[in-house]
Chains A and B, each alone.
Chain A
């Protein structure tokens, strides 16, 4: 099958034409899948908002905030129903997790009481740290629901807080508290601004 001494031109021509066809095929594929991928992302976000704000049925407005102690902005979805503030879903993150950053959605009602949490993306250890996800184990994230961070210290008990850490996954638990604490601070800031 080896061709005898293909000229430089032939080498360039064959490789160029293959990459050209590949580029065209990928461009076509991208234009077909762009809308569904966007829709899937949006759906996931909407589902997370609905999950952390039970009973909410209305429109959300998006505000981005830069936290003082983090590297990226936190997104607040202010939820209004019948002209009144229902609460907000806050897309927050932590960088002190066991394996990389994880992002979670935390819901607050208008008074700042936690209404629910949902994990958006994480790569914590399966069977240990991944219990921060409600679908894996409802106990850990369940203890946040209905708590007011004013008098519920968002720290694991080992650090002097009120949160029962997951057995053998203190780092993940601590990171979850960190993300929730950040969400709460940002939510209070967002609430202040929206009142003005």
Chain B
């Protein structure tokens, strides 16, 4: 597989949210606005990139029997770093994403890429894979967040288009997340076939 393909397959063809349908918890919960989706996506991208890199480097050092705890430690370390950095330098985003930043640890995309890709491939390929998957995740979350914000609050990137009036509330609430996710997946499927 060419390097370009490894990088770009995560964007649409093997998009972790829209095609593999992984990491649903943050995809549904934090996408009440486009900026939240973007922040969550980028935080996860950083974790994916770094954990894929390190796990690929250590793949000959980690015995098979203890690989899962070892991966979790590596991932949890990077997540804690992201959490601390966000709290220190972007406290507004940190408080709106809240608990979902520490929960990146259990995002199955991250462990999934470590197990399925980074543990078998070279460091460079693993980094490209992590970056591509992360950007695909970001793209999906941003799209869902953008639609929900537009429909639910009548706003684009926190700029209200309808002068502070209410939008279609259900799209900001949990059911709206499922509606939008379903439609986005359907559109992507249609375009792919």
Seen from chain A, the residues whose Cβ lies within 8 Å of a Cβ on chain B are 1-3, 6, 10-11, 14-15, 18-19, 22, 25-26, 29-30, 33, 36-37, 40-41, 44, 121, 123, 125-128, 137
Contact = CB atoms under 8 A, between A and B. Distances in A.
Task: Determine the main DSSP class of B at the interface with A.
Answer: helix
Nearest to A28: B81
A121 B152 CA distance: 22
B153 A15 contact: no
Contacts of B81: 25-26, 29
Interface centre among A15, A18, A29 (most CB of B within 10 A): A18
A26 B88 contact: no
24 contacts: A1-B64, A3-B64, A6-B64, A11-B63, A15-B73, A18-B58, A18-B62, A18-B73, A22-B73, A22-B76, A25-B77, A25-B81, A29-B81, A33-B85, A36-B88, A37-B84, A37-B91, A40-B87, A40-B91, A125-B173, A126-B173, A127-B167, A127-B172, A137-B164
Task: Determine the main DSSP class of A at the interface with B.
Answer: helix
Contacts of B173: 125-127
Interface residues of B, number: 36
B37 to A, nearest CB: 14
Contacts, number: 76
A194 B91 CA distance: 34
Contact of B70 (A10, A14, A41, A125): A14
B172 A126 contact: yes
B63 A10 contact: yes
Contacts of A22: 73-74, 76-77
B166 A127 contact: yes
Interface of B: 32, 58-66, 69-70, 73-74, 76-77, 80-81, 84-85, 87-89, 91, 95, 98, 119-120, 152-153, 164, 166-167, 169, 172-173
A24 B164 CA distance: 48
Interface centre among A19, A25, A126, A127 (most CB of B within 10 A): A127
B88 A6 contact: no
A127 B119 CA distance: 44
A25 B75 CA distance: 13
A29 B80 contact: yes
B63 A6 contact: yes
Given A3-B64, A18-B73, A22-B77, 20 more contacts: A1-B60, A1-B64, A3-B63, A10-B63, A11-B65, A11-B66, A14-B61, A14-B70, A15-B66, A25-B81, A26-B81, A29-B81, A33-B84, A33-B85, A36-B89, A37-B91, A44-B91, A126-B152, A127-B169, A128-B169
A25 B32 CA distance: 33
